[in-house]
Amino acid sequence: MIGGTGKTGRRVAERLTARGLPVRVGSRSGEPPFVWEDLSTWDAALEGVGAVYITYYPDLAFPGAAEAVGAFARTAVAKGARRLVLLSGRGEEGARISEDKLKESGADWTVVRASWFTQNFSEGFFHELVLAGELPLPTGDAVEPFVDADDIADVAVAALTEDGHVGKTYELSGPRLLSFHEIAAELSKASGRQITYIPVTLDDFRKSLEDNGLPVEFADLFELILDGRNAHLVHGVEEVLGRGPKDFTDFARDAAADGVWNT
Protein backbone atom coordinates (compact mmCIF):
# COMPACT_ATOMS: atom_id res chain seq x y z
CA MET A 1 0.00 0.00 0.00
CA ILE A 2 1.53 3.26 -1.19
CA GLY A 3 1.06 6.06 1.31
CA GLY A 4 0.25 3.54 4.02
CA THR A 5 1.06 5.96 6.84
CA GLY A 6 -1.26 8.71 5.59
CA LYS A 7 -4.81 9.54 6.63
CA THR A 8 -6.53 6.95 4.45
CA GLY A 9 -3.63 4.55 3.88
CA ARG A 10 -3.17 3.95 7.60
CA ARG A 11 -6.84 3.15 7.98
CA VAL A 12 -6.81 0.78 5.00
CA ALA A 13 -3.78 -1.03 6.44
CA GLU A 14 -5.48 -1.40 9.83
CA ARG A 15 -8.62 -2.85 8.25
CA LEU A 16 -6.73 -5.34 6.10
CA THR A 17 -4.57 -6.42 9.03
CA ALA A 18 -7.68 -6.92 11.16
CA ARG A 19 -8.93 -9.34 8.50
CA GLY A 20 -5.73 -11.33 8.79
CA LEU A 21 -4.46 -10.24 5.38
CA PRO A 22 -0.73 -9.57 4.84
CA VAL A 23 0.01 -5.87 4.37
CA ARG A 24 3.15 -4.09 3.19
CA VAL A 25 3.24 -0.37 3.89
CA GLY A 26 4.96 1.60 1.16
CA SER A 27 6.56 4.67 2.73
CA ARG A 28 9.96 6.23 3.28
CA SER A 29 10.10 4.55 6.68
CA GLY A 30 8.73 1.23 5.41
CA GLU A 31 10.65 -2.02 5.16
CA PRO A 32 11.63 -2.07 2.39
CA PRO A 33 11.32 1.70 1.92
CA PHE A 34 9.27 3.22 -0.90
CA VAL A 35 10.03 6.68 -2.27
CA TRP A 36 8.03 8.13 -5.17
CA GLU A 37 11.05 10.05 -6.43
CA ASP A 38 13.39 7.03 -6.28
CA LEU A 39 12.38 4.43 -8.86
CA SER A 40 15.01 2.02 -7.50
CA THR A 41 12.81 1.48 -4.41
CA TRP A 42 9.73 0.39 -6.35
CA ASP A 43 10.58 -3.22 -7.26
CA ALA A 44 11.38 -4.34 -3.73
CA ALA A 45 8.22 -2.69 -2.36
CA LEU A 46 6.13 -4.57 -4.94
CA GLU A 47 7.77 -7.97 -4.54
CA GLY A 48 5.10 -10.62 -3.94
CA VAL A 49 2.27 -8.06 -3.86
CA GLY A 50 -1.04 -8.84 -5.60
CA ALA A 51 -3.04 -5.66 -4.98
CA VAL A 52 -2.07 -2.06 -4.23
CA TYR A 53 -3.86 0.95 -2.74
CA ILE A 54 -2.21 4.03 -4.24
CA THR A 55 -2.17 7.50 -2.74
CA TYR A 56 0.10 10.25 -4.06
CA TYR A 57 1.55 13.02 -1.89
CA PRO A 58 1.10 15.93 -1.95
CA ASP A 59 -1.76 15.67 -4.47
CA LEU A 60 -2.53 14.21 -7.90
CA ALA A 61 -3.08 17.74 -9.18
CA PHE A 62 0.59 18.61 -8.63
CA PRO A 63 3.09 18.65 -11.54
CA GLY A 64 4.66 15.26 -12.24
CA ALA A 65 2.01 13.23 -10.41
CA ALA A 66 0.43 11.67 -13.51
CA GLU A 67 3.77 10.54 -14.88
CA ALA A 68 4.76 9.01 -11.54
CA VAL A 69 1.43 7.21 -11.11
CA GLY A 70 1.56 5.88 -14.65
CA ALA A 71 5.10 4.59 -14.29
CA PHE A 72 4.30 3.00 -10.94
CA ALA A 73 1.16 1.32 -12.28
CA ARG A 74 3.10 -0.19 -15.19
CA THR A 75 5.78 -1.43 -12.80
CA ALA A 76 3.18 -2.91 -10.47
CA VAL A 77 1.47 -4.82 -13.27
CA ALA A 78 4.82 -6.09 -14.54
CA LYS A 79 5.61 -7.34 -11.02
CA GLY A 80 2.28 -9.18 -10.78
CA ALA A 81 0.16 -6.71 -8.81
CA ARG A 82 -2.90 -6.62 -11.05
CA ARG A 83 -5.51 -5.00 -8.80
CA LEU A 84 -4.77 -1.31 -8.30
CA VAL A 85 -7.02 1.08 -6.37
CA LEU A 86 -6.20 4.78 -6.80
CA LEU A 87 -7.29 7.52 -4.40
CA SER A 88 -8.24 10.50 -6.58
CA GLY A 89 -9.90 13.86 -6.06
CA ARG A 90 -13.28 15.07 -7.21
CA GLY A 91 -13.19 17.76 -9.87
CA GLU A 92 -9.41 17.82 -10.33
CA GLU A 93 -8.36 17.89 -13.98
CA GLY A 94 -4.82 16.88 -13.04
CA ALA A 95 -6.14 13.92 -11.10
CA ARG A 96 -8.10 12.75 -14.15
CA ILE A 97 -4.83 12.53 -16.09
CA SER A 98 -3.39 10.31 -13.36
CA GLU A 99 -6.50 8.15 -13.53
CA ASP A 100 -6.01 7.74 -17.28
CA LYS A 101 -2.39 6.71 -16.75
CA LEU A 102 -3.53 4.09 -14.25
CA LYS A 103 -6.03 2.66 -16.74
CA GLU A 104 -3.44 2.54 -19.52
CA SER A 105 -1.25 0.22 -17.41
CA GLY A 106 -3.48 -2.79 -18.08
CA ALA A 107 -4.30 -3.19 -14.39
CA ASP A 108 -7.60 -4.31 -12.91
CA TRP A 109 -8.22 -0.77 -11.72
CA THR A 110 -10.65 1.01 -9.42
CA VAL A 111 -10.70 4.79 -8.90
CA VAL A 112 -11.96 6.33 -5.66
CA ARG A 113 -12.63 10.07 -6.08
CA ALA A 114 -13.05 11.76 -2.72
CA SER A 115 -14.21 15.16 -1.55
CA TRP A 116 -12.07 16.98 0.99
CA PHE A 117 -11.42 14.94 4.15
CA THR A 118 -13.03 15.80 7.48
CA GLN A 119 -9.76 14.60 9.05
CA ASN A 120 -7.96 17.60 7.55
CA PHE A 121 -9.21 19.38 10.68
CA SER A 122 -7.98 16.76 13.17
CA GLU A 123 -4.77 15.26 11.78
CA GLY A 124 -3.93 17.17 8.65
CA PHE A 125 -3.72 20.48 6.86
CA PHE A 126 -6.02 22.53 9.12
CA HIS A 127 -5.24 20.93 12.49
CA GLU A 128 -2.88 23.63 13.74
CA LEU A 129 -5.31 26.32 12.60
CA VAL A 130 -8.04 24.75 14.71
CA LEU A 131 -5.68 24.67 17.70
CA ALA A 132 -4.96 28.37 17.13
CA GLY A 133 -8.70 29.11 17.08
CA GLU A 134 -8.76 30.66 13.61
CA LEU A 135 -9.30 29.30 10.09
CA PRO A 136 -7.87 31.98 7.74
CA LEU A 137 -8.77 30.36 4.42
CA PRO A 138 -9.74 31.52 0.91
CA THR A 139 -13.16 29.90 0.59
CA GLY A 140 -15.64 32.75 1.07
CA ASP A 141 -19.15 31.38 1.46
CA ALA A 142 -18.51 28.35 -0.77
CA VAL A 143 -19.57 24.89 0.40
CA GLU A 144 -17.99 21.43 0.32
CA PRO A 145 -19.40 17.95 1.16
CA PHE A 146 -16.54 16.82 3.41
CA VAL A 147 -16.08 13.04 3.53
CA ASP A 148 -14.76 11.00 6.44
CA ALA A 149 -11.47 9.14 5.94
CA ASP A 150 -12.98 6.07 7.58
CA ASP A 151 -15.59 5.92 4.83
CA ILE A 152 -12.88 6.25 2.19
CA ALA A 153 -10.91 3.43 3.80
CA ASP A 154 -13.94 1.16 3.93
CA VAL A 155 -14.58 1.74 0.22
CA ALA A 156 -10.92 1.15 -0.64
CA VAL A 157 -10.82 -2.12 1.30
CA ALA A 158 -13.93 -3.32 -0.51
CA ALA A 159 -12.35 -2.47 -3.86
CA LEU A 160 -9.14 -4.30 -2.91
CA THR A 161 -10.74 -7.46 -1.57
CA GLU A 162 -14.17 -7.96 -3.14
CA ASP A 163 -15.42 -8.81 -6.61
CA GLY A 164 -17.42 -6.35 -8.69
CA HIS A 165 -15.30 -3.22 -8.38
CA VAL A 166 -12.85 -3.61 -11.26
CA GLY A 167 -13.24 -0.89 -13.88
CA LYS A 168 -15.40 1.25 -11.58
CA THR A 169 -15.01 4.89 -10.56
CA TYR A 170 -16.64 5.79 -7.25
CA GLU A 171 -17.22 9.39 -6.17
CA LEU A 172 -17.44 9.88 -2.40
CA SER A 173 -18.83 12.72 -0.32
CA GLY A 174 -20.32 13.27 3.07
CA PRO A 175 -24.08 13.54 3.61
CA ARG A 176 -24.37 17.36 3.46
CA LEU A 177 -22.78 20.53 2.15
CA LEU A 178 -20.97 22.73 4.67
CA SER A 179 -19.46 26.21 4.45
CA PHE A 180 -16.36 27.03 6.47
CA HIS A 181 -18.52 29.28 8.65
CA GLU A 182 -20.56 26.18 9.51
CA ILE A 183 -17.41 24.10 9.94
CA ALA A 184 -16.09 26.61 12.48
CA ALA A 185 -19.38 26.46 14.37
CA GLU A 186 -19.33 22.64 14.40
CA LEU A 187 -15.74 22.59 15.65
CA SER A 188 -16.50 25.18 18.33
CA LYS A 189 -19.44 23.18 19.62
CA ALA A 190 -17.55 19.88 19.66
CA SER A 191 -14.30 21.18 21.16
CA GLY A 192 -15.77 23.67 23.64
CA ARG A 193 -13.41 26.31 22.23
CA GLN A 194 -14.11 29.29 20.00
CA ILE A 195 -13.05 28.55 16.42
CA THR A 196 -13.50 31.42 13.96
CA TYR A 197 -13.47 31.31 10.18
CA ILE A 198 -11.66 34.29 8.63
CA PRO A 199 -12.03 34.72 4.83
CA VAL A 200 -8.76 35.67 3.09
CA THR A 201 -7.81 36.12 -0.56
CA LEU A 202 -6.08 33.43 -2.58
CA ASP A 203 -3.05 35.70 -2.97
CA ASP A 204 -2.78 36.20 0.78
CA PHE A 205 -3.15 32.48 1.33
CA ARG A 206 -0.40 31.72 -1.20
CA LYS A 207 1.90 34.10 0.62
CA SER A 208 1.08 32.41 3.93
CA LEU A 209 1.95 29.02 2.44
CA GLU A 210 5.22 30.37 1.05
CA ASP A 211 6.12 32.02 4.38
CA ASN A 212 5.58 28.70 6.15
CA GLY A 213 7.59 26.64 3.66
CA LEU A 214 4.57 24.84 2.21
CA PRO A 215 3.87 24.23 -1.51
CA VAL A 216 2.02 27.25 -2.91
CA GLU A 217 0.18 24.82 -5.23
CA PHE A 218 -2.05 23.97 -2.26
CA ALA A 219 -3.79 27.28 -2.87
CA ASP A 220 -4.91 26.09 -6.29
CA LEU A 221 -6.94 23.31 -4.66
CA PHE A 222 -9.20 25.92 -3.07
CA GLU A 223 -10.43 26.87 -6.51
CA LEU A 224 -12.21 23.49 -6.51
CA ILE A 225 -14.36 24.86 -3.69
CA LEU A 226 -14.65 28.45 -4.90
CA ASP A 227 -16.04 27.65 -8.35
CA GLY A 228 -18.68 25.28 -7.00
CA ARG A 229 -17.76 22.28 -9.16
CA ASN A 230 -18.03 19.92 -6.18
CA ALA A 231 -20.90 21.67 -4.44
CA HIS A 232 -23.23 18.71 -4.71
CA LEU A 233 -23.57 15.35 -3.02
CA VAL A 234 -22.50 12.05 -4.58
CA HIS A 235 -23.32 8.56 -3.41
CA GLY A 236 -20.31 6.27 -3.78
CA VAL A 237 -20.30 5.35 -0.09
CA GLU A 238 -23.87 4.07 -0.31
CA GLU A 239 -23.17 2.34 -3.63
CA VAL A 240 -20.21 0.36 -2.30
CA LEU A 241 -21.04 -0.12 1.37
CA GLY A 242 -24.82 -0.10 1.44
CA ARG A 243 -24.93 2.56 4.16
CA GLY A 244 -24.80 6.32 4.42
CA PRO A 245 -21.57 8.32 4.97
CA LYS A 246 -20.53 9.68 8.37
CA ASP A 247 -21.71 13.20 9.16
CA PHE A 248 -19.31 16.01 10.13
CA THR A 249 -21.06 16.45 13.49
CA ASP A 250 -20.28 12.84 14.39
CA PHE A 251 -16.68 13.23 13.23
CA ALA A 252 -16.18 16.38 15.32
CA ARG A 253 -17.74 14.77 18.42
CA ASP A 254 -15.51 11.68 18.12
CA ALA A 255 -12.36 13.70 17.40
CA ALA A 256 -12.99 15.95 20.40
CA ALA A 257 -13.50 12.89 22.60
CA ASP A 258 -10.08 11.63 21.44
CA GLY A 259 -8.52 14.90 22.62
CA VAL A 260 -7.10 15.99 19.27
CA TRP A 261 -7.95 19.67 19.94
CA ASN A 262 -6.79 19.80 23.54
CA THR A 263 -4.11 22.40 24.13
The string of pLDDT tens digits covering residues 116-130 is: 999 999 998 899 999
pTM across the whole model: 0.95
Assess whether pLDDT exceeds 90 at residue 220: no
CA torsion sign, 187 to 189 to 193 to 199? positive
Assess whether pLDDT exceeds 90 at residue 223: no
- Calculate mean pLDDT across residues 132-154: 96
| pLDDT value, residue 217 | 84
| pLDDT value, residue 42 | 97
| pLDDT value, residue 212 | 86
Name the more confident of 5 and 98.
98
| pLDDT value, residue 213 | 87
Over pLDDT 90: what percentage of the chain? Answer: 86
How many Cβ atoms are within 10 Å of 149's Cβ, its own excluded? 24
SS3 83: strand
| pLDDT value, residue 238 | 98
| pLDDT value, residue 23 | 96
Whether the CB-CB separation of 176 and 245 falls below 8 Å is answered with: no
Span of 18-32, 186-200, 209-223, 239-253 with lowest mean pLDDT: 209-223
CATH architecture of 7-257: 3-Layer(aba) Sandwich (3.40)
| pLDDT value, residue 180 | 96
CA distance 150 to 12: 9
The domain segmentation of the chain, as residue ranges, is: 7-257
Give how far the C-alpha of residue 8 lies from the chain's centroid of Cα atoms, to the nearest Å. Answer: 6
Reported as a pLDDT band with limits 50, 70 and 90, residue 3 is confident
Reported as a pLDDT band with limits 50, 70 and 90, residue 57 is confident
- Calculate mean pLDDT across residues 7-14: 96
CA torsion sign, 90 to 96 to 102 to 107? positive
SS3 260: coil
| pLDDT value, residue 182 | 98
Q: Calculate the average pLDDT of the chain.
A: 95
**Helix crossing, 65-78 with 93-104: angle to 10°?**
20
Reported as a pLDDT band with limits 50, 70 and 90, residue 62 is confident
| pLDDT value, residue 255 | 97
- Calculate mean pLDDT across residues 89-97: 92
Report, in angstroms and rounded to the nearest whole number, the Rg of the chain calculated over CA atoms: 18
Assess whether pLDDT exceeds 80 at residue 1: no
